[in-house]
Structure 1
Amino acid sequence: MAARDGPRQPRNLGVQYEQQCVREGTAPLKEVIDGLESLQLHLNVDRLSRPRWPPVIKCIQMGKMLKDISFKSSQCAELHLSDVGILRRRAVEQPVENLRHMLPVLCKAIVECLDSSKALKSLNLEFLQLNLREIDALAGGLARSPSLCTLSLAGCPITDRGLEVLCRSLKIATTIQCVDFSNCGITWHGVEFLTKVIQTQAVNRHAQAWAESLRYRYPDLDVMPGLRRLSLNRNPRIADRGANVLADALPDELWLKALDLQACGISNFGADSLVAMLKSNSSIVVLDLRGNHLIGKRKLQKILKKVYYNSGGGNTEFKWLPVKVGPEAVVKKSRRAVKPLGCGGVKGRACIRIARTPGVSLSNRLDTTVNGRGTSHNTISKRQVGMTKEGMDVQRKFDNSAGSAKRSEASQSYRGQLQKEREAREKAERKVSEMQAEIRRLREENGQLSTALLEQGMPGAEESLLHSVESSLSKFHSFLDLLEDVGLGQLAAVAGLHRDDISSLLESATGGQGGTRQLAEEGSLTTREEPRRSNAALLPGPKVPVSTWSLLPGC
C-alpha cells in the first residue's frame, strides 16, 4: 500500500474540534460538541473569548457536512435598545470588542464553507455588527452556494446599502427560499431592491415554466427555485410607502407564499394597497401585519380572511412567526431590589419605605415595614393607616372629578363643532336655493327672448332665400332647353330630368304658372345672350359650328 502523506483526518466534526482545542490549549465547549454531533453549530458569541475563536473558525472551514450554522450576540442586541430610548451597558465589554476583531475572520470562514459545502441549508447571523466589507464577502458566498435555503441577518445593521449588495447575489442564488431581514434598519428604498429581486426571479420562473410545459407537460410551480418567504419585521421606516411598493410588485406573483411585516409603521393607507393586491394574488398564505397599531381591526380581519381563503383553510409549510416587540425582548429586564430598612439602612431618624408588591394590600404592606432602628410595625398607629386610606380615597375622588371635567370639556367642544357644522350647512342650503331661483329666472328670460324672435321673424332673409332658389331652378330650366336645342334631349330623359318636374318646382316656389313662365323666359333670354361658342365648348359631344346654329330647330 502506498504511504500516506499525513495523518488521517477524522470524519467526526466533534473530534476535529477537540483536537483543535488541544492545539490551542483551550477547553472545548460542550454546546459546540453536542451541536456538531447533529451537524449543527449554534453559538452565542458573547461566551467566546479570543483564544476560543480559532478552533471554531477551523471547524467551520472543515465542516463540509454542516447543515446549520447560527451565531448570535445578546450584548449587541442589548446595545440596539438605544434606538428605542433604553440604553444599558454592562461592566464587561471585552467580548464585544473581541467579536469586532473576529468578525472578518468569521465571515471569511463562512464564505469558504458556502463555497465548498453541499449540505449547508441554514445560515443565521443575528445581532452581529457587520460592516459593508463583510456584507460584500458574504454576498459573494451566497451567490456561489449550491445548497443554502435559509438566510437570516436579523438584528444586523445592514441598512439599505448592505441590502442592495445582498440583492445582487439573491438574484443569482435561486436556492435561497427564506430570507429574514428583521430589525436591520431597512427603509422603503431597500424594499424596492427586494421587489426587483422578486421580479427578476419571476421572469426566470416563467421561462422555466414555459419550457416545462412543452410536449403536453404540466409544470410544477412548487418545486421551482426562488424566494418563498420574506421577513421584514420591526423595520418601522418601511411605512406606507414601502407597503405600496410591495403591493405594486406582487399582484401577479405566483411563488412568494409568506410576507412578514410586523411593526413596520404601516397604517390604513398601506393596508388598503395590500388588500387591493390580495384581490388578484391568490398565492400568499401568510401576510403578517401584527404590531402595526395604526391599522384598524376591521382591516386586519379582512386581510386575515383573504389569507385564510388563499391557504385553503388548512395548515401550510409556512407558519406564522411569533410576535416580538423588539430587541428588548431578548434582554431580561433587571429591577432594583428594595433594601429593607434596619439592615444597613439609614441611621438616626426613623423612615418608612414601602415596596410595591403586586397582590398585597396597603395595610399588609404597612405591617411588613420596619423603621430605621429595627422596630416592628407597632410603631405605626392605626390612625396613620386610616389617614393613609382616607388620602387614597380623596385622591381617587380627585382623579374621578378630573376625568369628568375632561369629559365635559370634550363634550362641550364637540357640541361647538356640531353647531358650527349646522350653521355651515344652513348657509350652503340657502346658497343653493338662491342659485336655483337664479337659474329659473334666466330660463324664463331665455324663453321670452326666443318667442319674441319667432314673432318678429326675418322676412328679408326668407325672401332672399326664395329668390335664390327660384333663380337656380330657372337657370336649370334654361339648361334643359339648351340641351333640347342642341339635340341632346334624350340625354336629359335618360338622366330622369323632365320639364314638367322643373315647372312644378317653380310653381311651388313662385305660386303660379305666370311666374313660372316669366322666369323661364327670362332664363332662356339670358342664356341665349351668352356666346354660343362657350356653350358649345362646355357641352359634351361633337362641336357644332357657329353657322349651323340657325339651322337647329327652336332657334
Structure 2
Amino acid sequence: MTNPTEKPKKKKLQRRNSWAGEAAENNSFHANVTPKPLISPHSIKSSSSSASTTSRISSLSKRSTPKLKPTHPHSFIRTYQELCEYYKVLPLATVKNHLPRKILDFSADRLKAKDWRPVYEALIADKELHSISIRSRHPKKVVRPKNAIDIITEGVKYPVLFTHFFINTLIKSLTGCLFQSDSLTCLELVGMPIQSKYLTLLLEGISKSKILQHLSLENCPLGDTGVEELCKTLNNLPSITTLNVSSCGLSSVGIGFIASLIKAQKIQRFMETWQKSLRYQNPNLDAMWGIRRIILNSNPQIGDDGVKLLADILEDDLWVKAIDLQKCGIGKIGAIYLISLLEENCVIAIIDIRNNKNVPASLIKEVMSHLRENNKDRVTEYHWLDLGFTSNTSSTWMPSLSKIQKEGKAKSMPNYDLKSSSLTTIKPTRSGYTICKRSLSQPVKGCYQRKY
C-alpha cells in the first residue's frame, strides 16, 4: 500500500521542473541545454554565528548609501548637527560644549562606534575651528586590529579609538583638516596611540599647515624615533612656537634631535637678522618665527646627559624662552649645567626643574635667582606650569588659547625665600669644578603675567 505523503512530493518536484523549463524558454536558452534544478535551502550548511554576522556586516558596508551634502561643509558645528540627524545619532554634549567658541575639546574614551562617524566627516572638511583637543586616559597605548564585532562587544572595557580602523580614520580626518584649514592654530592629542605609521600620516598634514602654532603630543608613544621624524618636519615649519612632548618616552638621544632642531632654526634666524642689519633695520627678535617653548616633563630617561645637550645649544640662543623639565631624572650635575647656562643667556624666562628628587633645594633656589634677574623689568607671556602637570585635566600650557578654553588666573613664579645672605654653588670648568659663593641681598619673588 502506498504512502499518501509521497504524492505531494512528486507534484512539488514536477512544479519546480516546469517552472525551471519556462524560465529557460523565456530567457531564450538552447533546446539541448537542460535547466539546473533549484537548490533547496536545506542543502546549504549553516556556518557559525560569528561568520554569518561578519558576512552580514561586510555586505551592509558594501552597499552604496547616499551621502549627505551639508549646507555648510566647512563649518564643523553645522555639519555635525546635520550628520547626526542624517545617521540618527544623538549629538553628544561633550563634543558640543566648546563649539560656540570654535574649539573642539572632548575625551575620546566614552565615545561609541556609532558616535565617531559624524565627528570624522565633519572634521575632515572644517575650516573654522581654532583649536582641536582630543584626550584619552587609557593606560595601554596599543592599537588592536580587531573587527566590528569585537568593537561592539568590548567597547565599554576598551576604547573604540584604540583600534586600527578608528585611529586611522581619525588621523586621516585631522590630516584633511590641516591641509585646508586657515584658522587652526592649536592641535592637542593627549594619550593617543600614535605609532610610527600614524605619525607619518599626521606629519604630512602638519607640514602643510601654515598657521599652526601650538602642537601637543603628550603621553603618546613616540619614543626617540618618533621625535626624530617630528623634528625633521618642524625644521621646515616656522609657525610652531610651542611644542609639548611630555611623557613620550624620550631619552638623551631624543633630546639630541630636539637640540639639532633648535640649532637649525637658530642659524636661519641669525641669517635673517644679518640680512635686516645690512638694510639698516633694527630686527625685532620677538616677532621672528620659530619655537619659543619646549615642554619635556615626565621623561625620566633624559637625565644629565640630555640637559647638557640643551645647555650647550641654548648658550647663545636668543629666541627660546621656556624649557620645562619636571620629572626628567635630573641630578646635581644637570642643575649645575643649567646654572652656567643662565649666567650666559639672559633671554630665557623659565627653566623648570622642579619635581626632580636628585636636585638639591639650594640649586633650585640658585636657578630661580638667575631667572629673576633675567626677567627684571620685563613682562613675559610665558607662565609656570603646575606641579605634576598633565593636559588631561587642563590645557594651561598654551600662552594664548588657555584663556579661551578655561578662564583662570596666570601662574606666578614660585616664591623661594632665601634666609642666608650667601649661597655656596659649584661652577663647572674644563679641569673640574670650583666652589664659589654668591651674595643674595633680596629673596626671590616675582609675578609674570600672561600676555594675550
> TM-score if structure 2 supplies the norm length?
0.66
Contact 2:263 2:313 in 1 (8 A): yes
Contact 1:47 1:95 in 2 (8 A): yes
Counterparts of 1:325 and 1:118 in 2: how far apart (Å)? 30
2:201 alignment counterpart: 137
The structural deviation recorded for 1:92 is: 3.8
Counting matched residue pairs gives: 315
1:316 alignment counterpart: 380
Identify if the C-alpha distance between structure 1 residues 264 and 102 changes in structure 2 by more than 3 Å, giving closer, same or farther.
Answer: same
Contact 1:70 1:124 in 2 (8 A): yes
1:153 alignment counterpart: 217
2:110 alignment counterpart: 47
Counterparts of 2:279 and 2:318 in 1: how far apart (Å)? 23
2:313 alignment counterpart: 249
1:464-521 alpha-carbon deviations (Å, 9 max, x no partner): xxxxxxxxxxxxxxxxxxxxxxxxxxxxxxxxxxxxxxxxxxxxxxxxxxxxxxxxxx
Aligned 1:51-70 pairs, distance under 5 A: 51-70=114-133
Counterparts of 2:70 and 2:361 in 1: how far apart (Å)? 66
The structural deviation recorded for 1:7 is: 7.0
Do structure 1's residue 15 and structure 2's residue 78 form an aligned pair?
yes
2:366 alignment counterpart: 302
Contact 2:141 2:162 in 1 (8 A): no
Letter in 2 for 1:187: S
**Between structures 1 and 2, the one with greater helix share:** 1
Aligned 1:442-481 pairs, distance under 5 A: none
**Between structures 1 and 2, the one with greater strand share:** 2
2:265 aligned counterpart, secondary structure = helix
1:181 alignment counterpart: 245
Identify if the C-alpha distance between structure 1 residues 10 and 195 changes in structure 2 by more than 3 Å, giving closer, same or farther.
Answer: closer
The structural deviation recorded for 1:34 is: 3.2
The structural deviation recorded for 1:98 is: 5.1
Contact 1:49 1:98 in 2 (8 A): no
Counterparts of 1:326 and 1:77 in 2: how far apart (Å)? 17
Q: What RMSD over aligned residues (CA atoms) do the two structures have, in Å? A: 2.3
Higher relative contact order (CA 8 A, sep 6+): 2
The structural deviation recorded for 1:242 is: 0.4
1:242 aligned counterpart, secondary structure = helix
Aligned 1:493-532 pairs, distance under 5 A: none
Do structure 1's residue 198 and structure 2's residue 265 form an aligned pair?
no
1:107-154 alpha-carbon deviations (Å, 9 max, x no partner): 111111111111101000001111101111122222211100000011
Identify if the C-alpha distance between structure 1 residues 30 and 327 changes in structure 2 by more than 3 Å, giving closer, same or farther.
Answer: closer
Counterparts of 1:7 and 1:133 in 2: how far apart (Å)? 31
2:243 aligned counterpart, secondary structure = strand
Counterparts of 2:392 and 2:331 in 1: how far apart (Å)? 23
Counterparts of 2:339 and 2:70 in 1: how far apart (Å)? 64
Letter in 1 for 2:98: G
Counterparts of 1:181 and 1:11 in 2: how far apart (Å)? 30
Do structure 1's residue 229 and structure 2's residue 281 form an aligned pair?
no
2:115 aligned counterpart, secondary structure = helix
What 5-or-longer segments of structure 1 have no aligned partner?
A: 1-5, 80-89, 331-555
Counterparts of 2:346 and 2:330 in 1: how far apart (Å)? 22
1:227-271 alpha-carbon deviations (Å, 9 max, x no partner): 000000010000011011111111001000000000100000111
Letter in 2 for 1:207: M
Counterparts of 1:78 and 1:206 in 2: how far apart (Å)? 40
1:284 alignment counterpart: 348
Contact 2:218 2:245 in 1 (8 A): yes
Aligned 1:339-418 pairs, distance under 5 A: none
1:213 aligned counterpart, secondary structure = helix
Identify if the C-alpha distance between structure 1 residues 12 and 101 changes in structure 2 by more than 3 Å, giving closer, same or farther.
Answer: closer
- Counting aligned pairs with the same residue, the percent is 33
Contact 1:77 1:127 in 2 (8 A): no
Contact 1:234 1:326 in 2 (8 A): no
What 5-or-longer segments of structure 2 have no aligned partner?
A: 1-68, 143-153, 395-452
Q: In structure 2, which of residues 79, 95, 98 is the aligned counterpart of residue 35 of structure 1?
A: 98
The structural deviation recorded for 1:221 is: 0.5
Counterparts of 1:168 and 1:298 in 2: how far apart (Å)? 38
1:47 aligned counterpart, secondary structure = coil
